[in-house]
Structure 1
Amino acid sequence: MSSDSEQIWQVHDRFLELHSRWMTLIGEHLQDHQGEILAYWRIEKADSVIVLPIQDGQILLPPPSYRPGVGQVTLDFPGGRVSEGQTLAQAAIATLKRELGIEAANITQLIPLNTQGWAVNSSFSNQKLYGFVAHIDNTKLRSELVAVTYSVTLAEVQDLLQNLTCVQCRAVFLEWWLNFKYSNFQ
Protein backbone atom coordinates (compact mmCIF):
# COMPACT_ATOMS: atom_id res chain seq x y z
CA MET A 1 0.00 0.00 0.00
CA SER A 2 1.47 3.37 -1.01
CA SER A 3 0.86 6.72 0.60
CA ASP A 4 -0.37 9.75 -1.35
CA SER A 5 3.15 11.17 -1.49
CA GLU A 6 4.48 8.00 -3.19
CA GLN A 7 1.93 7.95 -6.01
CA ILE A 8 3.18 8.92 -9.45
CA TRP A 9 1.44 11.81 -11.16
CA GLN A 10 0.20 11.14 -14.68
CA VAL A 11 0.95 13.34 -17.69
CA HIS A 12 -2.44 14.53 -18.93
CA ASP A 13 -1.04 16.30 -22.00
CA ARG A 14 2.07 18.11 -23.24
CA PHE A 15 1.12 21.51 -24.59
CA LEU A 16 4.63 22.75 -25.45
CA GLU A 17 7.99 21.22 -26.32
CA LEU A 18 10.62 23.66 -27.52
CA HIS A 19 14.11 22.37 -28.39
CA SER A 20 17.38 24.29 -28.61
CA ARG A 21 20.92 22.98 -28.56
CA TRP A 22 21.18 23.97 -24.87
CA MET A 23 17.88 22.76 -23.48
CA THR A 24 14.33 21.58 -24.04
CA LEU A 25 11.47 23.61 -22.56
CA ILE A 26 8.42 21.49 -21.76
CA GLY A 27 4.95 22.56 -20.68
CA GLU A 28 2.65 19.83 -19.39
CA HIS A 29 -0.59 19.32 -17.58
CA LEU A 30 -0.14 16.73 -14.85
CA GLN A 31 -2.84 14.95 -12.92
CA ASP A 32 -1.88 14.65 -9.26
CA HIS A 33 -2.74 11.84 -6.86
CA GLN A 34 -6.04 13.59 -6.02
CA GLY A 35 -7.13 13.88 -9.65
CA GLU A 36 -6.43 17.63 -9.93
CA ILE A 37 -4.93 18.86 -13.23
CA LEU A 38 -1.92 21.15 -12.71
CA ALA A 39 0.19 23.07 -15.28
CA TYR A 40 3.93 22.49 -14.96
CA TRP A 41 6.84 23.98 -16.85
CA ARG A 42 10.25 22.35 -16.83
CA ILE A 43 13.57 22.45 -18.60
CA GLU A 44 15.59 19.39 -19.50
CA LYS A 45 19.32 19.87 -19.99
CA ALA A 46 22.20 17.57 -20.79
CA ASP A 47 23.84 16.09 -17.71
CA SER A 48 26.83 17.91 -16.21
CA VAL A 49 30.26 17.08 -14.90
CA ILE A 50 32.25 19.03 -12.34
CA VAL A 51 35.90 18.17 -11.85
CA LEU A 52 37.97 18.84 -8.75
CA PRO A 53 41.57 18.98 -10.05
CA ILE A 54 44.45 18.37 -7.63
CA GLN A 55 48.17 18.78 -8.34
CA ASP A 56 50.87 18.33 -5.69
CA GLY A 57 48.41 18.79 -2.82
CA GLN A 58 46.90 21.93 -4.41
CA ILE A 59 43.29 22.23 -5.57
CA LEU A 60 43.26 24.11 -8.89
CA LEU A 61 40.54 26.53 -9.97
CA PRO A 62 40.10 28.51 -13.19
CA PRO A 63 39.56 32.27 -13.12
CA PRO A 64 36.23 33.31 -11.59
CA SER A 65 33.49 33.76 -14.18
CA TYR A 66 30.40 35.90 -14.49
CA ARG A 67 27.10 34.09 -13.81
CA PRO A 68 24.18 35.89 -15.48
CA GLY A 69 21.61 34.09 -13.30
CA VAL A 70 23.06 35.47 -10.06
CA GLY A 71 24.49 38.66 -11.53
CA GLN A 72 28.00 38.24 -10.13
CA VAL A 73 31.40 36.70 -10.68
CA THR A 74 31.83 33.38 -8.86
CA LEU A 75 34.62 30.95 -8.13
CA ASP A 76 33.81 27.51 -9.53
CA PHE A 77 35.49 24.21 -10.29
CA PRO A 78 35.84 23.30 -13.96
CA GLY A 79 32.52 22.03 -15.25
CA GLY A 80 30.49 21.45 -18.34
CA ARG A 81 27.80 19.49 -20.12
CA VAL A 82 28.04 15.91 -21.30
CA SER A 83 27.61 15.95 -25.09
CA GLU A 84 25.55 13.32 -26.85
CA GLY A 85 27.67 10.22 -27.46
CA GLN A 86 30.31 11.34 -24.96
CA THR A 87 31.20 9.28 -21.89
CA LEU A 88 31.31 10.94 -18.49
CA ALA A 89 35.10 10.51 -18.31
CA GLN A 90 35.50 12.04 -21.80
CA ALA A 91 33.39 15.03 -20.69
CA ALA A 92 35.53 15.46 -17.56
CA ILE A 93 38.77 15.32 -19.57
CA ALA A 94 37.43 17.76 -22.18
CA THR A 95 36.38 20.13 -19.38
CA LEU A 96 39.88 20.12 -17.88
CA LYS A 97 41.38 20.82 -21.32
CA ARG A 98 38.97 23.67 -22.05
CA GLU A 99 39.08 25.39 -18.66
CA LEU A 100 42.60 24.71 -17.33
CA GLY A 101 44.56 23.66 -20.44
CA ILE A 102 45.24 20.22 -18.93
CA GLU A 103 45.92 17.51 -21.50
CA ALA A 104 44.57 13.97 -21.01
CA ALA A 105 48.15 12.65 -20.82
CA ASN A 106 48.74 14.83 -17.73
CA ILE A 107 45.86 13.28 -15.77
CA THR A 108 47.35 10.51 -13.65
CA GLN A 109 44.07 9.49 -12.06
CA LEU A 110 40.43 10.34 -12.78
CA ILE A 111 38.15 9.20 -9.96
CA PRO A 112 34.35 9.39 -10.23
CA LEU A 113 32.69 10.59 -7.03
CA ASN A 114 29.31 9.20 -8.07
CA THR A 115 28.23 6.78 -10.76
CA GLN A 116 24.45 7.26 -10.64
CA GLY A 117 24.42 11.03 -10.99
CA TRP A 118 22.91 13.40 -8.46
CA ALA A 119 19.56 14.85 -9.48
CA VAL A 120 19.70 18.59 -10.01
CA ASN A 121 15.99 18.88 -10.13
CA SER A 122 13.25 21.33 -9.39
CA SER A 123 9.95 21.96 -11.05
CA PHE A 124 11.86 24.07 -13.60
CA SER A 125 15.14 22.23 -14.15
CA ASN A 126 16.08 18.62 -14.67
CA GLN A 127 19.53 17.11 -15.14
CA LYS A 128 22.08 14.88 -13.40
CA LEU A 129 25.42 15.97 -11.99
CA TYR A 130 28.51 13.77 -11.99
CA GLY A 131 31.55 14.66 -9.91
CA PHE A 132 35.15 13.70 -10.58
CA VAL A 133 38.51 14.17 -8.88
CA ALA A 134 41.43 14.48 -11.28
CA HIS A 135 44.99 14.06 -10.08
CA ILE A 136 47.35 15.99 -12.33
CA ASP A 137 51.05 15.21 -12.85
CA ASN A 138 53.80 17.80 -12.26
CA THR A 139 53.37 19.46 -15.65
CA LYS A 140 53.69 23.23 -15.50
CA LEU A 141 50.25 24.72 -16.09
CA ARG A 142 49.43 28.05 -17.72
CA SER A 143 49.10 30.70 -15.00
CA GLU A 144 46.37 32.58 -16.89
CA LEU A 145 44.19 29.44 -16.77
CA VAL A 146 44.91 28.40 -13.17
CA ALA A 147 43.90 31.52 -11.28
CA VAL A 148 43.47 30.22 -7.75
CA THR A 149 44.90 27.33 -5.76
CA TYR A 150 44.09 26.02 -2.30
CA SER A 151 46.26 23.64 -0.30
CA VAL A 152 44.72 20.41 0.86
CA THR A 153 44.86 21.46 4.52
CA LEU A 154 42.01 21.90 6.94
CA ALA A 155 42.40 25.69 7.10
CA GLU A 156 42.46 26.14 3.31
CA VAL A 157 39.67 23.61 2.76
CA GLN A 158 37.51 25.68 5.11
CA ASP A 159 38.54 28.87 3.31
CA LEU A 160 37.67 27.36 -0.09
CA LEU A 161 34.30 26.23 1.21
CA GLN A 162 33.59 29.81 2.33
CA ASN A 163 34.39 31.07 -1.18
CA LEU A 164 32.32 28.53 -3.15
CA THR A 165 28.76 29.75 -3.65
CA CYS A 166 27.72 27.31 -6.41
CA VAL A 167 25.77 24.52 -4.72
CA GLN A 168 26.87 21.99 -7.35
CA CYS A 169 30.56 22.82 -6.80
CA ARG A 170 30.01 22.62 -3.05
CA ALA A 171 28.36 19.19 -3.41
CA VAL A 172 31.31 17.81 -5.39
CA PHE A 173 33.81 19.36 -3.00
CA LEU A 174 32.05 18.09 0.14
CA GLU A 175 31.65 14.60 -1.32
CA TRP A 176 35.39 14.48 -2.01
CA TRP A 177 36.23 15.93 1.40
CA LEU A 178 34.02 13.51 3.31
CA ASN A 179 34.93 10.39 1.34
CA PHE A 180 38.60 10.88 0.56
CA LYS A 181 40.12 13.45 2.93
CA TYR A 182 38.14 13.61 6.17
CA SER A 183 40.33 11.03 7.90
CA ASN A 184 43.43 13.21 7.22
CA PHE A 185 41.98 16.08 9.25
CA GLN A 186 41.23 14.22 12.48
Structure 2
Amino acid sequence: MMNSQSNEQPCVSVSKSNWQTLERFVEIRSSWLTLIGEKLQDEQKQILDYWRVEKADSVVIITMQNDRFLLPKPSYRPGLGRTTLDFPGGRVLPEQTAVNAVPNILKRELGIEESEITSIHPLNQTGWAINSSFSNQTLYGVVAETVSEATVNPEKLTPNIYPTTAIGIDNLLRDLTCLQCRAVLLEWRQNI
Protein backbone atom coordinates (compact mmCIF):
# COMPACT_ATOMS: atom_id res chain seq x y z
CA MET A 1 0.00 0.00 0.00
CA MET A 2 1.37 3.41 -0.89
CA ASN A 3 1.38 6.43 1.36
CA SER A 4 -1.33 8.89 0.31
CA GLN A 5 0.99 11.85 0.85
CA SER A 6 3.77 11.37 -1.67
CA ASN A 7 7.10 13.10 -1.19
CA GLU A 8 8.38 12.06 -4.60
CA GLN A 9 10.96 14.36 -6.12
CA PRO A 10 11.01 15.06 -9.84
CA CYS A 11 13.38 12.86 -11.82
CA VAL A 12 16.73 14.44 -12.53
CA SER A 13 18.23 13.89 -15.95
CA VAL A 14 21.72 12.39 -15.71
CA SER A 15 24.12 12.78 -18.58
CA LYS A 16 27.27 10.85 -19.28
CA SER A 17 30.36 12.58 -17.95
CA ASN A 18 33.41 13.61 -19.92
CA TRP A 19 35.67 11.84 -17.41
CA GLN A 20 38.12 9.39 -18.97
CA THR A 21 39.94 6.40 -17.53
CA LEU A 22 43.59 6.77 -18.48
CA GLU A 23 45.15 3.85 -16.66
CA ARG A 24 44.29 1.04 -14.28
CA PHE A 25 47.34 0.83 -12.01
CA VAL A 26 46.11 -1.92 -9.68
CA GLU A 27 43.43 -4.60 -9.58
CA ILE A 28 43.08 -7.00 -6.67
CA ARG A 29 40.42 -9.70 -6.99
CA SER A 30 38.89 -11.91 -4.33
CA SER A 31 35.69 -13.91 -4.08
CA TRP A 32 34.15 -11.01 -2.11
CA LEU A 33 35.24 -7.96 -4.07
CA THR A 34 37.58 -6.42 -6.60
CA LEU A 35 39.66 -3.39 -5.56
CA ILE A 36 40.64 -1.14 -8.46
CA GLY A 37 43.01 1.83 -8.58
CA GLU A 38 42.75 4.05 -11.66
CA LYS A 39 44.02 7.32 -13.05
CA LEU A 40 41.09 9.38 -14.28
CA GLN A 41 40.99 12.65 -16.16
CA ASP A 42 38.12 14.91 -15.13
CA GLU A 43 36.23 17.51 -17.19
CA GLN A 44 38.88 20.16 -16.33
CA LYS A 45 41.64 17.84 -17.63
CA GLN A 46 43.02 17.21 -14.11
CA ILE A 47 44.48 13.75 -13.59
CA LEU A 48 43.29 12.10 -10.38
CA ASP A 49 43.97 8.79 -8.65
CA TYR A 50 40.70 7.05 -7.79
CA TRP A 51 40.08 3.87 -5.87
CA ARG A 52 36.89 1.89 -6.18
CA VAL A 53 35.40 -1.44 -5.25
CA GLU A 54 33.30 -3.74 -7.40
CA LYS A 55 30.98 -6.00 -5.41
CA ALA A 56 27.91 -8.10 -5.98
CA ASP A 57 24.64 -6.35 -5.23
CA SER A 58 23.05 -7.03 -1.86
CA VAL A 59 19.58 -7.50 -0.42
CA VAL A 60 18.26 -6.66 3.03
CA ILE A 61 15.14 -8.59 4.02
CA ILE A 62 12.52 -7.30 6.42
CA THR A 63 11.16 -10.60 7.68
CA MET A 64 7.85 -10.69 9.54
CA GLN A 65 5.80 -13.31 11.34
CA ASN A 66 2.66 -12.73 13.43
CA ASP A 67 3.06 -8.92 13.43
CA ARG A 68 6.67 -8.95 14.62
CA PHE A 69 10.03 -8.63 12.91
CA LEU A 70 12.29 -11.66 12.80
CA LEU A 71 15.95 -10.74 13.10
CA PRO A 72 18.97 -13.00 13.44
CA LYS A 73 21.14 -12.84 16.52
CA PRO A 74 23.60 -9.95 16.37
CA SER A 75 26.79 -10.93 14.58
CA TYR A 76 30.36 -9.68 14.49
CA ARG A 77 31.05 -7.05 11.81
CA PRO A 78 34.78 -6.81 10.99
CA GLY A 79 34.41 -3.32 9.50
CA LEU A 80 33.19 -1.98 12.85
CA GLY A 81 35.09 -4.40 15.03
CA ARG A 82 31.94 -5.23 17.03
CA THR A 83 28.70 -7.14 17.05
CA THR A 84 25.62 -5.48 15.54
CA LEU A 85 21.93 -6.20 15.03
CA ASP A 86 20.92 -6.43 11.38
CA PHE A 87 18.08 -7.72 9.23
CA PRO A 88 18.79 -10.91 7.30
CA GLY A 89 20.66 -10.14 4.12
CA GLY A 90 23.29 -11.17 1.69
CA ARG A 91 24.69 -10.99 -1.81
CA VAL A 92 22.63 -11.16 -4.98
CA LEU A 93 24.59 -13.24 -7.44
CA PRO A 94 24.76 -12.11 -11.10
CA GLU A 95 22.38 -14.89 -12.20
CA GLN A 96 19.82 -14.01 -9.49
CA THR A 97 17.27 -11.35 -8.77
CA ALA A 98 16.93 -9.98 -5.24
CA VAL A 99 13.64 -11.86 -4.83
CA ASN A 100 15.28 -15.14 -5.94
CA ALA A 101 18.02 -14.70 -3.33
CA VAL A 102 15.57 -14.39 -0.40
CA PRO A 103 14.74 -18.09 0.30
CA ASN A 104 18.39 -19.18 0.60
CA ILE A 105 19.25 -16.21 2.83
CA LEU A 106 16.28 -16.83 5.15
CA LYS A 107 17.16 -20.53 5.34
CA ARG A 108 20.79 -19.73 6.21
CA GLU A 109 20.16 -16.91 8.68
CA LEU A 110 16.87 -17.90 10.35
CA GLY A 111 16.29 -21.54 9.43
CA ILE A 112 13.06 -20.68 7.57
CA GLU A 113 12.12 -23.10 4.80
CA GLU A 114 11.02 -21.72 1.43
CA SER A 115 7.62 -23.43 1.86
CA GLU A 116 7.07 -21.35 5.03
CA ILE A 117 7.41 -18.03 3.19
CA THR A 118 3.95 -16.71 2.26
CA SER A 119 4.99 -13.59 0.38
CA ILE A 120 8.02 -11.77 -0.92
CA HIS A 121 7.60 -8.12 -1.96
CA PRO A 122 10.45 -6.00 -3.34
CA LEU A 123 10.62 -2.42 -2.06
CA ASN A 124 12.62 -1.28 -5.09
CA GLN A 125 12.91 -2.67 -8.61
CA THR A 126 16.31 -1.15 -9.34
CA GLY A 127 19.00 -1.15 -6.70
CA TRP A 128 19.87 1.88 -4.62
CA ALA A 129 23.51 2.95 -4.91
CA ILE A 130 25.30 2.19 -1.64
CA ASN A 131 28.29 4.49 -2.21
CA SER A 132 28.33 5.68 -5.81
CA SER A 133 31.74 7.37 -5.64
CA PHE A 134 33.52 4.29 -4.27
CA SER A 135 31.47 1.23 -5.25
CA ASN A 136 29.27 -0.18 -7.99
CA GLN A 137 27.23 -2.13 -5.42
CA THR A 138 23.51 -1.56 -5.18
CA LEU A 139 21.05 -2.49 -2.44
CA TYR A 140 17.65 -4.09 -2.77
CA GLY A 141 15.05 -4.05 -0.03
CA VAL A 142 12.59 -6.92 0.23
CA VAL A 143 9.76 -7.72 2.63
CA ALA A 144 9.13 -11.41 3.36
CA GLU A 145 6.29 -12.77 5.46
CA THR A 146 6.11 -16.27 6.88
CA VAL A 147 3.24 -18.51 7.87
CA SER A 148 2.29 -18.01 11.51
CA GLU A 149 3.34 -21.53 12.44
CA ALA A 150 6.71 -21.40 10.65
CA THR A 151 9.44 -22.95 12.71
CA VAL A 152 12.20 -20.49 13.38
CA ASN A 153 15.23 -21.80 15.18
CA PRO A 154 15.28 -19.82 18.47
CA GLU A 155 19.08 -20.16 18.61
CA LYS A 156 19.27 -18.09 15.40
CA LEU A 157 16.93 -15.30 16.57
CA THR A 158 17.75 -12.15 18.48
CA PRO A 159 16.23 -12.36 21.98
CA ASN A 160 14.65 -8.92 21.56
CA ILE A 161 11.09 -8.79 20.25
CA TYR A 162 10.17 -5.98 17.88
CA PRO A 163 6.47 -5.77 17.00
CA THR A 164 5.50 -4.15 13.68
CA THR A 165 3.83 -1.30 15.60
CA ALA A 166 5.01 2.32 15.62
CA ILE A 167 6.72 1.80 18.99
CA GLY A 168 8.30 -1.46 17.82
CA ILE A 169 9.64 0.24 14.68
CA ASP A 170 11.05 3.14 16.74
CA ASN A 171 12.75 0.70 19.12
CA LEU A 172 14.19 -1.25 16.21
CA LEU A 173 15.48 1.94 14.56
CA ARG A 174 17.17 2.82 17.87
CA ASP A 175 18.92 -0.58 17.97
CA LEU A 176 19.95 -0.86 14.30
CA THR A 177 23.35 0.64 13.51
CA CYS A 178 23.52 -0.52 9.90
CA LEU A 179 22.50 2.35 7.64
CA GLN A 180 21.38 -0.08 4.94
CA CYS A 181 19.04 -1.86 7.36
CA ARG A 182 17.72 1.45 8.66
CA ALA A 183 17.11 2.75 5.12
CA VAL A 184 15.16 -0.38 4.11
CA LEU A 185 13.06 -0.22 7.29
CA LEU A 186 12.33 3.49 6.76
CA GLU A 187 11.39 2.84 3.12
CA TRP A 188 9.02 0.08 4.22
CA ARG A 189 7.49 2.29 6.93
CA GLN A 190 6.97 5.12 4.47
CA ASN A 191 5.01 2.82 2.17
CA ILE A 192 2.73 1.03 4.65
TM-score (norm 2): 0.87
- The one-letter code sitting in structure 2 at the alignment partner of 1:38 is L
With 23-32 and 83-92 compared, the bigger mean Cα shift is at 83-92
Higher fraction of helix: 1
Q: Distance in 1 between matches of 2:16 and 2:136?
A: 19
Q: Secondary structure at the match of 1:35?
A: coil
Q: Work out the percentage of aligned pairs sharing the same amino acid.
A: 55
| Contact kept in structure 1, 2:121 and 2:143, CA below 8 Å | yes
Q: Distance in 1 between matches of 2:180 and 2:18?
A: 27
Gapped runs of 5+ residues in structure 1?
Answer: 181-186
Per-residue deviation at 1:84?
A: 3.2
Higher fraction of strand: 1
- The one-letter code sitting in structure 1 at the alignment partner of 2:152 is L
Q: Distance in 2 between matches of 1:97 and 1:176?
A: 22
Per-residue deviation at 1:165?
A: 0.7
Residue 82 of structure 1 corresponds to 92
Q: Distance in 2 between matches of 1:153 and 1:8?
A: 49
TM-score (norm 1): 0.90
Q: Distance in 2 between matches of 1:7 and 1:128?
A: 20
Q: Which runs of 4+ in 1 moved over 6 A?
A: none
Q: Does 1:151 align with 2:167?
A: no
Residue 72 of structure 1 corresponds to 82
Per-residue deviation at 1:129?
A: 0.3
Per-residue deviation at 1:78?
A: 0.3
Pick from 29, 50, 67: which aligns with 1:57? Answer: 67
With 25-34 and 9-18 compared, the bigger mean Cα shift is at 9-18
| Contact kept in structure 2, 1:65 and 1:74, CA below 8 Å | yes
| Contact kept in structure 2, 1:40 and 1:123, CA below 8 Å | no
> What are the Cα deviations for residues 85-104 of structure 1, in whole angstroms up to 9, with x where unaligned?
22321212211111001111
Equivalence map 1:15-164=2 (5 Å) = 15-138=25-148, 139-147=150-158, 148-164=160-176
Per-residue deviation at 1:6?
A: 7.5
CA RMSD of aligned residues (A): 1.5
| Contact kept in structure 2, 1:82 and 1:88, CA below 8 Å | yes
Q: Does 1:177 align with 2:180?
A: no
Residue 3 of structure 2 corresponds to none
Q: Secondary structure at the match of 1:165?
A: coil
Gapped runs of 5+ residues in structure 2?
Answer: 1-14
Residue 9 of structure 2 corresponds to none
Q: Secondary structure at the match of 1:39?
A: strand
Per-residue deviation at 1:7?
A: 3.6
> What are the Cα deviations for residues 131-161 of structure 1, in whole angstroms up to 9, with x where unaligned?
1000110213111112233101111111110
Q: Distance in 2 between matches of 1:8 and 1:114?
A: 30
Aligned length: 176
| Contact kept in structure 2, 1:118 and 1:130, CA below 8 Å | yes
